[in-house]
Amino acid sequence: MATDRRINKSKQALKDALILRMETSDFKKITITEIVQHANLNRGTFYKHYDTKEALLEELIDDVMCDLIESYRAPYLHSDALVIKELTASKIKIFEHVYSYSKFYRAIVSSNAVPGIQHKISDVFKQLSRDDMEILGTTSNVDRDFVSSYYAHALLGLILEWINSGFKYTPAYMAEQLIAIVTFPGADVKLKQG
């Protein structure tokens, strides 16, 4: 049996309320009273699940990171290997993910509530990138950590730029941009040579 419905609902309501408040207010200034008011829950319910608002935020971040990983892996869920050339924009779900959590990302990235959040996101990307290479079975002598870190931060950069633009482009457009950058013939090599 999964966790009780009421628990999930209550926790989700608290997380939604936290995101809502973080849109306009600094995390440090948000009170638990505020959160439960917006979540339409009794204060006792908060304390039944969390000790502090920091614990709530931590779990919220975990949730988003899990969904992020799921979205990243979505294109090749039913295939053994990821073939870059066959990767179409429609298959890239990661921008859809960011867009669906746009309020969260906008708040969390601009906030100083979680100092290492960008590092955390890029770490997730890095690990995902490494997993890709395991699947592909790269045999070259290039250090995998360099490659994964390179692509992880590149993707993060693209997303940060998108966030800072106020999400004025569609997820589909962002996916097209990513494809265009990655598949631009010999771009990497030329840069390395020059």
Residues of the shown chain interacting with a second copy in the complex, contacts defined by CB under 8 A:
5, 9, 40-42
Please, which residue, 47 or 184, has the CB nearer to DNA? 47
Residue 83 touches which member of a second copy, DNA, none, C-beta under 5-8 Å by kind: none
Contact flags string 32-61 toward DNA, x per CB under 7 A: xxx-----xxxxxx-xxx-xxx--------
What is the C-alpha to C-alpha distance for residues 189 and 34, in angstroms, rounded to an integer?
53
What is the C-alpha to C-alpha distance for residues 10 and 14, in angstroms, rounded to an integer?
6
Number of H helices, E strands in the chain: 10, 0
Residue 68 burial by CB count (10 A; 0-12/13-18/19+): exposed, middle or buried? buried
Tell me the closest approach of the beta carbon of residue 37 to a second copy, in angstroms: 12
Total number of residues that touch DNA (CB under 7 A): 24
Residue 85 touches which member of a second copy, DNA, none, C-beta under 5-8 Å by kind: none
Q: Does 12 bind DNA (CB under 7 A)?
A: no
What is the C-alpha to C-alpha distance for residues 184 and 37, in angstroms, rounded to an integer?
51
List contacts with DNA (CB under 7 A): 1-2, 4-7, 9-10, 31-34, 40-45, 47-49, 51-53
